[in-house]
Structure 1
Amino acid sequence: MGIYLIKVTACLAIFIVFYKLVLENESMHTYKRFYLISSLIAASIIPAVLFTEYIYITPEPVLNTYVSEINSDEIPVFYQKTDYLTPTLWTIYGLGVLIFGYKFCSNLFKIGTRIRRNPKINYDRSIHVLLEERLSPHTFFNFIFLNKQKFEAQEIPEEVLLHEQAHAVQKHSLDVLFIELMQVILWFNPFVYLFKRAIKLNHEFLADQAVLQKGAELSNYQKILLAFSSNAPETQLANAINYSSIKKRFNIMKKTTSKKAIWLRSLLVLPMFALALYSFSESEIIEIDKGLENSTSSNLPPENLQEQKSDSIQYKYIEKPNAPNIQDIAKWKNSFKYALWIDGKHTSNKELENYKLSEFVHYSSSFIYNNARSQQFPQPYQVSLFTKNKFKKQFTTNNRELNIHINKAAQILVQGELVSVLGLKQHLSKLNTDLSKEEKSEIVRGFIHVRLETPKQAVKNVSNILEEYGCVTIDIVGQKEQQDGATIKQLATYNTIARKYNEMNTSTMSIKKGEVDQMTYLYSIMTDDQKKDAEAFPKLPPMPEPPMPPSTQKIGKGEVSAIPAPPAPPAPPKSPLDHVINMAKKNANFYYEGKAITSDQAIDLIKNNNHLNIDTRNTGSKNPSVKISKEPIIIKN
């Protein structure tokens, strides 16, 4: 609001200075009337004008992107200081509006009272109101206020009546009411008072011009004005003859401006307004991804970190949380302009009143085009707010990323190990064993790195396995496109990370794998010139050596090892025929397809078909029971 008022003041200053220097002393009063009113309106509108520039950018696919791990002590804590200045200024402004508003209404009431309580005479297109007070003649709309005694004695010259008649016919009171209302709203702005004086003076120029065009003699009219002018306080909201402006009015009466000069001075206004518009309007630049400009779906919250497009994916890199301020919270309460999500859930804008500013640690906002808005979310902007806990869960990786590379031969590399598709599920089960499936679904992210020649079926199979594993997101990352070095954003990211590690003490350096991997990748795509201008690549301490394996005892030739010999392998199972013969020796009872048979018949059956199903049980008697069947035998408990 403060910036807006400053810009309004600057516009008013430019417009009134131009008027004083170029237009005021010229005989082009109708144009000057239009200019003064238009300037007041333009000064109020120009600072609120917003020019939007759309820049189409080509998204850059990234092979590996990371979100910095945010510790709880890194989350900013907001301490709201009590702001006494803002309410004090608003209180002063409100008192000024009340005082000037009361004065404005009081003057209207006085004029209305004079019209009601005094006799009136209809004359031509105006009404003469005859007053007992000795006031200078003045006009309000089509009411002309005259002293009753002088009017009845015919002591008021015809030229004065024509002058006031011109005010009434040309509706100068409309301009006066407009500038008085502007004064109520901008009572603290000195340029409003300069405009008010200029408008009223120009009204006198117009009335003088009308009188002279009626045939009044110039010198005689000037004498009459001197006789009727007075330094007494004039009636507010009315046009009256005033002594202070007489000298300038006399000079203007004698001056004639050529049509060429009028056209030239009128045309000078255009570049002046254009300059004000360029200097004091607002501008906004919106970046649009070419691949997303035709998107028609915007029902999801804007904070989708993955934006998958065919064979590539784009990620936002969040190094620090983007916390909102008090002004942001205030404007987001407008449900007609903003659709709101808190921690990923769509929420009523009124819910913001139930939160403290310090509870929100991050937000993102996006503009939605008309063709992408839905009936459920017709607002032009969508905002996502995140509390501390949700931000940590959603935007920190804690090294829980699964990177799977698939080449054109459908070979799979998982975290640096070659794995088959059939063995992928078992391999994943050994990772992140400290997490439950619910925890995996919140922090583990899967990245499938593919080439243009990678079979789609292989990608689909791996994606299904990752989904079953419980990844919160599964992202397909395409081949890196050729580019001439790193982009400006990538250079800024590299410099931030490299500077951080260069400032660390090597002996006490704390290294985050995600940051180092990203820094190494960005450094690898930089050109030689970019590397010269960029932050030097940090000297990182070497990785610790793996622990030595335990020593083994060497056995010399001829020595006997103390290690016990491995147990002998189990004996192979008996064949079905041997089993039946053994049961026959134990006098078992044999059954084939539910019918009793002899042991010899059972042996013959097995000899002819050793794929028959056999079930042997001890029935509690001395003789076991052997059942033989072609169909599978179902054992009932």
Structure 2
Amino acid sequence: MLVFLLKSTACLVIFLAFYKLVLEKESIHQFKRFFLLGALITSFLIPAVVFTEYVEMAQQTTQTTSPITGQISDTVTGQVVTEEPYFDWEIGLWMVYVLGVIGFGVRFLRNLAQITLRIRKNPKFKENFITRVLLRQSLPPHTFFNYIFLNQKQFEEKHIPQEVILHEETHAKQRHSLDILLIELAQVILWFNPIIYLFKSSIKLNHEFLADRAVIKGSNDHHSQYQNTILSYLSHGSFEQYQSTGIANAINYSSIKKRFTVMKTNTSRKSFVLRSLLVLPLTALLLLGFSETEKVPVVKNVGSETSIYPKSSNLNAVESLSPRSIELAGLVVDSETLLPLENATILGNDGQILSKTDNRGYYTVELEVSNPGEIYFDFSVVKEGYNSIAQKEHWGDLQGNISSAMYFAMRQKKSSAKELSSLVTNPKNLDYETILTSYNQVKEDFEFHKKMDEAKKGNQNIFMQVEGQYYLVSDSWIKLNSKDDLVMVDGKTLLPAFKLNKTIKRNQITGMTPLEKGQGAGFAIYTVSAQKAIDFIEIYINNNGKLLFQGKIVPLEDLKQTLSKVNEHLSFDQRKKIVRSVIHVEAKTPKDVIQQVDKILAEYGAATINIVGPETSPQSSASREEMKEYNALAKKYNEMDRNHMYIQKQEVMRLKEIYGKMSKKQQEDAEPFPNFPPPPPAPDAPEPPKNVSDTEYASNQIQKIIDTNDPYDVVGGNIAQPASPIAPTNVNDINIYNPSSPPAPPEPKSPMEHIKEMAAKGATFMHNGKEITAKEAIKVLENNKSINIDTRGSDSGKPIVKLSTEPIVIEN
């Protein structure tokens, strides 16, 4: 809201400055009238304009929905158990604003009531469409719609000049009161904005310009007599104490000097055309500068082998296409109000429109799957004024007609509510009535998310009471039995749940889990003080050089600042040791952008930076330095006697690497690749002597190794040759050089990465003996970091992953 008000105020200021500098002193009063009204309205429309730009990205994050916990009621709102009261400045400012609206609204209604009473209580008579109201008070002539208010005594004595009557009739004929009502209502709503008062002054002054011009055109005299008449009303002592005429147009409105100056002005047609045309580029610049641009990432799945097409493409006629199809239906609603959204668009990963919601928020999508194997498909839900939702699906190797219901709750750009989505598999059918019936449970889930989010606002509490039930809350939540339930913090401190808010803040939590009986507490909480959460950095760069980081499009120049907010609890030296990063690129991603991102990550302190992209060679040919290095190594080995070669493994690997980079022409021009002999066969393992125990034999072997200086006891150096080597059959003498110790083993995958990898392979998941989906398995792992995991193969070729809170017994 604040950004909107600042943008609208900036538009008002620029429009008003343009009016004051370019238009005010000109005689094009009708144009000026509509310019001021249009500028007032346009200043509040421009910040609300949203242009949609579709940006193709390599990949996008997926929205997920947390599981439903406990019984949910639609009638009770969340209550936060707070330890200390605090003042909410947002509520305080809203209270001040409402009081201002009430005050200015009462003033506006009082002026309307004052004019209405004057019309009712005073004599009046109608002439044509004008009604003249004769007042006993000594007020200056003024007009409201078609009512002209005149002093009764002066009117009957004919002391009111005809020019004044004509002036007021012009206000009535041109309906200037409509403009006044509009600006008065704007002043009630935006009473705190000083620019509104300046606009009001300019509009009322321009009304006087219009009425003055009508009087001058209808009078044979020039300006002097009419100007003297206006001055007489301003200088009349009895009128000075009755200047306030509320929302009416009065003859004695101020700025006389400007009125007299403009009376003598006559703008040429050429000047009018030029000045009016300047409004167009001014409006265009304001639209460009103060409107919003929504960048909608269109998901492009580089690694997917599944082709998805709209069912209307008549793909059955194409040879070798699978008859499998996907039918989706569901509802799209507002995440804050949960009311249906009309004209929300379902887009395929290529930006093609698959469906649009009707006025009930209902949509249907039918797709054909052309490729065999597991099904991968992406789509996004977009609507003007809302944040888009990108959905990435992997459904395994399903066959036939696959039906599912998917529900989406979209977040308005100005809203603090969250995007949500929910999947219901195998519905009875996909008509609106069935989808609406299934939505009742989904709606309860969405409603509870809203209540929990509302309860979390403005605090960092872990222990909360929502709908009369107690919860432990972080990014997810766990239902408690009572407020006295014991909670173990970081495996060493026991606290009743209701005391947690005094010792721990919600943003310190890295994990929560229920505990089994006999562990001294019912629940466990782990905090950043015991286990620092390390964020993995993953950046996607598309062919246009656009960056996607943490589900948001980040300009290259802002990447450094954005990264500074990631892993803030780690020092630079700590990041250099443990933070991993990956840059995902496409075939035509600009190299200079990749290099800049790589440099920014290095400056940030990433321990590893991996660049991942399509399987294309990053270099089409070897460089001059690499060719020189290759030729020197190849010549060295080509000149050796093949039966007496001294081979270094690093040099052989380097030869292969450079040779793989060469173009065909470079390979033809370079030294021939050396013809290395095959390695010698491994010697047979010695058989243990008979009539000797295993222990005695091992002891003898160790002593023999010590006595003969076995080559394999030298770690990290050259392998010493035995005194009497056995020559291989096809090689007379080969010395093998091992320059360094073996590389460290790769870092083991985390449980979450393992679960996601198994899900991608179509694994079957079991939780405490019950089969669950991959999404449910991920949720179980998120809620219980210490759960036991056992992965086995099966006869079907697909892995079976068992999750259990009990120890898993592995049977031989």
Q: 2:19 matched to which residue of 1? A: 19
Are 1:343 and 1:386, in contact at CA under 8 Å, matched by a contact in 2? Answer: no
Asked whether 1:249 is paired with 2:238, we answer no
Q: Is the contact made by 1:222 and 1:250 (CA closer than 8 Å) also made in structure 2?
A: yes
* Distance in structure 2 (CA, Å) of the matches to 1:330 and 1:489: 22
Higher strand share: 2
- TM-aligned CA distance change 1:257 to 1:297, over 3 Å: same
Q: In structure 1, what is the equivalent of residue 225 of structure 2?
A: 220
Following superposition, the deviation at residue 250 of structure 1 comes to 1.0
Contact 2:143/2:171 (<8 A) preserved: yes
**Alpha-carbon distance, 1:49 to partner:** 1.1
Q: Are 1:136 and 1:240, in contact at CA under 8 Å, matched by a contact in 2?
A: yes
Q: CA deviation at 1:359?
A: 7.1
Q: In the TM superposition, what whole-angstrom CA distance separates every residue of 1:59-89 from its partner, at most 9, and x where no partner exists? A: 69xxxx9xxxxxxxxxxxx999945211111
Per-residue deviation, 1:537: 8.5
Displacement of 1:287 in angstroms is: 1.2
Once the two structures are aligned, what percentage of the paired residues are identical?
Answer: 40
Candidates 126, 136, 150, aligned match of 1:122? 126
In the alignment, which of 146, 151, 161 is matched to residue 147 of structure 1?
151
- Structure 1 pair 163–198 and aligned structure 2 pair: CA distance change class (3 A): same
Q: TM-score, normalised by structure 1?
A: 0.52
Asked if the contact 1:359/1:388 (under 8 Å) is kept, the reply is no
**Residue 351 (str. 1) matches residue 448 (str. 2):** yes
Q: 2-side partners of 1:146 and 1:520: how far apart?
A: 79
- Structure 1 match to 2:476: 387
> For 1:219 and 1:94, how far apart are their aligned partners in 2?
49
Distance of 1:539 and 1:144 partners within structure 2? 82
How far, CA to CA, are the matches of 1:141 and 1:560 in structure 2?
120
Q: Cα offset for 1:388?
A: 5.1
One-letter amino acid matched to 1:221? Y
Q: Distance in 1 between matches of 2:84 and 2:128?
A: 67
Counterpart in 2 of 1:379?
none
Q: Distance in 2 between matches of 1:10 and 1:159?
A: 40
Deviations 1:327-381 (A, max 9, x none): 9996549xxxx76549997234443454245779xxxxxxxxxxxxxxxxxxxxx
Deviation at 1:5, TM superposition (A): 1.0
Give the aligned length: 395
CA shift for structure 1 position 205? 0.6
Amino acid aligned to 2:260: F
Q: Cα deviation per residue 1:528-580 (whole Å; 9 max; x = unaligned)?
A: 9859746498599xxxxxxxxxxx99964566999xxxxxxxxxxxxxxxxxx
Superposed counterparts of 1:488-507, under 5 Å: 503-504=573-574
Q: Secondary structure at the match of 2:278?
A: helix
- Could you tell me which residue of structure 2 aligns to residue 209 of structure 1? 213
More helix by share: 1
Which amino acid in structure 2 is aligned with residue 355 of structure 1?
M
In 2 relative to 1, CA 9–556 (structure 1 residues): closer, same or farther, beyond 3 Å? closer
Task: Give matches, 1:88-487, under 5 Å.
Answer: 88-217=92-221, 218-229=223-234, 231=240, 232-242=242-252, 244-289=254-299, 297=328, 299=330, 310=371, 332=417, 341=422, 346-348=442-444, 349-356=446-453, 387=476
Unaligned stretches of 5+ residues in structure 1: 66-77, 319-323, 361-384, 391-482, 541-551, 563-637
Cα distance change on mapping 1:98 and 1:520 into 2, 3 Å:
closer
Unaligned runs of 5+ in 2: 63-81, 302-306, 311-326, 334-348, 350-368, 379-389, 393-408, 426-440, 458-473, 480-541, 550-555, 610-684, 696-812
Mark the CA change 1:298 to 1:284 in structure 2 (over 3 Å): closer, same or farther: farther
Q: Shift of residue 521 of structure 1?
A: 11
Comparing 348-357 and 245-254, the one that deviates more: 348-357
**Which residue pairs with 1:2 in the alignment?**
2
Q: CA deviation at 1:279?
A: 1.1
Alpha-carbon spacing, 1:205–1:55, altered in 2? closer, same or farther (3 Å): same
* Residue identity matched to 2:195: F
Q: Sort the Cα spacing of 1:313 and 1:160 in 2 relative to 1 into closer, same or farther, 3 A.
A: same
Cα 1:82–1:347 change in 2 (3 A) is farther
Measure, in 2, the Cα distance between the counterparts of 1:192 and 1:520.
50
Change (3 A) 1:16 1:172: same
Rounded to whole Å, the distance in 2 between the matches of 1:309 and 1:52 is 31
Cα distance in 2 for residues equivalent to 1:52 and 1:191? 31
Rg larger for: 1
Give how far 1:44 is off.
Answer: 1.3
- 1:47 equivalenced with 2:51 (yes/no): no
Q: Aligned AA for 1:32? A: K
CA–CA separation in structure 2 for the residues paired with 1:505 and 1:186 = 50
Say if 1:81 and 1:17 are closer, same or farther in 2 by CA, change over 3 A: farther
Instruction: State how far apart, in whole Å, the 1-side matches of 2:217 and 2:546 are.
Output: 72
Structure 2 residue identity aligned to 1:269: V
Work out the CA distance in 2 between the residues paired with 1:313 and 1:554.
Answer: 55
3-state DSSP of counterpart to 1:346: helix
Aligned-residue offset at 1:211: 1.0
SS of the residue corresponding to residue 36 of structure 2 reads helix
Per the normalisation by structure 2, the TM-score is 0.42
- Rounded Cα–Cα distance in structure 2 between residues aligned with 1:26 and 1:87: 46
